Copies of this chain bind each other. A is one copy, B any other.
Amino acid sequence: MKDEGGSVAKTNSGNFFEDYEIGQVLEHAVPRTVGPGERALYHALYPERRALYSSDQFARDSGLPESPLDDLAAFHVVFGKSVPDISLNARANLGYAEGRWLKPVFAGDTLRAQSEVIGLKQNSNGKTGVVWVRTKGINQRDETVIDFVRWVMVKKRDEDAPAPSTVVPNLKNALEPADLTIPSGLDFSDYDFGQAGERHRLSDYAIGEVIDHVDGVTVEEAEHMMATRLWQNTAKVHFDATQREDGKRLIYGGHVISMARALSFNGLANAQIIAGLNAGAHANPCFAGDTIRAWSEVLDTAETSAPGVGAIRLRLVATKDGSVGELKDEDGRYLPGILLDLDYWALIPL
């Protein structure tokens, strides 16, 4: 723990590709207690209206002790903690897989995060490599509340450093319904569709159905910076206008995820709880002044073991051009108006 003395650089320069090894566990710094302030800010920053996260009464009527913190807020807190160790020198956030929400996060909970390195592959240019980590969010009772894999492209510190053995983890394309964890006590048998805002239950959605969520939000620098800071995410590009010639700040991809998910209330108000993250791509960068819109495609549906609770697998797409239903060009590249392509499971009344 003892440093060599005052002359050593004190600031964190982050990890480079050659700093990672398979099986390494990184304990991320700065535990965080969340509460009613974070909840109110989430509602101020995103047009989220799902009743389970808005009303303690609705949550109790659904078998939970009170309204939890939004599932994505929990994700952002955990993700943010991993940034200084995983993605400070990242060139790109390449993907997500096998994300599972295991316990709701309630006001007063304290979250910490850790990541295990599960994959490494140096790129053929010898300058960068891909690192796969499984990141966990853990509460004050040492319970894992969230768990996901992400992989990032990281610079090498020294281009002459030898390449590690390539290990590419075997990841599921999508979680099975049986992989999902249902919050303890959840019961949608007496679900109040009127108070929730829409009357559509799982059986009203058809696989392949595309829902245009209609609304749009034009984003501002102050908002995305406040959101990203709230999650204690320290990546410079989100805050420092001198990093780019046009003075714009790159918007944290998670801000786009939360905005799109909130916009999807209109058409998916009853897809209350996020239970699994199958895949995700930040297709193009988002900047202040962009107007974010969203559409969803129903990919799958399933029953669960909990009373009245079904699962719906959704593709959630955020755009900055208002297009609906189109994703990629004929070469398989994302169209320039696409910001986000996310594949997730939500819990919804049967």
Q: Which residues of A contact B (CB under 8 A)?
A: 1-3, 5-8, 10-12, 27, 29-33, 35-41, 43-47, 49-51, 54-58, 67, 84, 107-108, 110, 112, 140, 193-201, 203-206, 209, 211-218, 220-223, 225-227, 229-230, 232, 234, 236, 239-242, 247, 249, 266-269, 289, 291, 298, 322
Contact = CB atoms under 8 A, between A and B. Distances in A.
Contacts of A6: 204-206, 209, 298
A232 B5 contact: no
Contacts of A289: 241
Q: Across the A-B interface, give the 3 residue pairs with the lowest CB-CB distance, nearest first.
A: A37-B40, A6-B206, A29-B197
A30 B196 contact: yes
Q: How many copies does the complex hold?
A: 3
Nearest to A27: B194
Given A47-B239, A140-B57, A67 B33 contact: yes
A234 B48 CA distance: 10
B1 A199 contact: yes
A45 B45 CA distance: 13
15 contacts: A3-B204, A5-B204, A6-B205, A11-B212, A12-B197, A12-B198, A33-B56, A41-B41, A47-B229, A84-B197, A215-B240, A216-B239, A216-B240, A218-B239, A241-B291
